Amino acid sequence: MKDSLNIAIAGATGYVGIELIKILLKHPKAKILYLCASKSIGKKIFDFDKSLSKKKLPTITNIKYVQWEKIDILFTALPNGEAQKIANILPNRIKLIDLSADFRIENYKLYKKWYGADHKSKKLINKSLYAISEFSRNYLRKYNIISCPGCYPTSIQLPLIPLIKKKMIDLNSIIIDSKSGYSGAGRNIKKRFNTKYIHNSISAYGVGGHRHTAEIEQEFSKVSKRKIKITFTPHIIPTFRGILSTIYINTKGASSAFKIYKFLKKYHKKNFFVKIAKFNTPIGTGDVMNTNYCNISVCENRSEKKIIIISALDNLIKGASGQAVQNMNIACKLRENMGLV
């Protein structure tokens, strides 16, 4: 293992890119050599976040000027479609850790259906790994293209994947209501949500067809070995960061809310960044803000066979940059929580 990992970040000026920089500055094995963007070339990163004004960081440059022989890890926090192009020219020894949707969907035809564009590196899809850290520890070291899940899917899969594997829930009636801070829409939020009340109102969007549905159903179907369809509705709420997913499920067989609580508590005991709240405890995003933790609570419903699972995380960290660094740590044989606590 090298004394340090030389890192380039593409998409450094976005909200996720800024969070990546902040985490990597605390990481004892990380050395940031390049900060890349398509605009603002020649500017300093503190123009986008004043808290970085006293940090020694490279000037923003175009990715075409990166000297790849100096780089070990490339993080891409770019619009969908861009990491695919970079992957085609990247030297094989460099680990690409992508935070877009470019390598999340295993079927390139489904990618086109959900994202409206042809995949530009189809041959590399099978060489990539969709990696929620807690479920991918045993595989991460084998891959040089690591695809980080979306923020909503992370909050949803951490509680539900173990239950699907254990066959404790009904797969035909999964309903998910998720709410996210507006940072999840990026810096161009006013273009995406054409309303002057975006900062003091709640808006549902992607109703019946949000893009993250594709990767959630893909992973659920892989685990259950059958096709699963879910009902998923996301909302933007008037807070900057944080995700709260409220998941409604029916239990199966002898399962009950308390049994599911006990099972998840035992299952995630080894997972440093997943915390199971006391049974029947309402939770929110306040305890996970600016952390890489996901908090999960299992609650009873009035109907004995129906339960409510609540999952909270920071969309910019556990839902993006923090999970990316967690994946890097595992892939590079470092302590999993290095730089994250």
Residue 163 · residue 220 · CB < 8 Å = no
Tokens of 30: 């990380």
Among 151, 294, 299, 332, which one carries the catalytic annotation?
151
Residue 225: which region, alpha, beta or left (left: phi > 0; alpha: psi -120 to 50)?
left
Cα–Cα dist 326/335, whole Å: 9
Tokens of 322: 């923090």
φ/ψ of residue 106, rounded to 5: -75, -25
Would you tell me how many other CB atoms lie within 10 Å of the CB of residue 203? Answer: 14
Straight-line distance from the first to the last Cα atom of the chain, in angstroms, rounded to the nearest whole number: 22
In angstroms and rounded to an integer, the radius of gyration of the C-alpha atoms of the chain is: 20
For residue 251, what is the DSSP state?
B
**DSSP string computed for 232-248:** EEEEEESSSS-EEEEEE
Tokens of 274: 């997943």
Cα–Cα dist 262/256, whole Å: 10
How far CA 204 is from CA of 89, 116, 249, 290, in Å, comes to 39, 21, 21, 24
Instruction: Reply yes or no on whether 299 is catalytic.
Output: no
Cα–Cα dist 296/312, whole Å: 6
| Sole residue written with tokens 């995003």 | 285
**DSSP string computed for 130-159:** E--HHHHTTTGGG-SEEEPPPHHHHHHHHH
Catalytic residues: 151
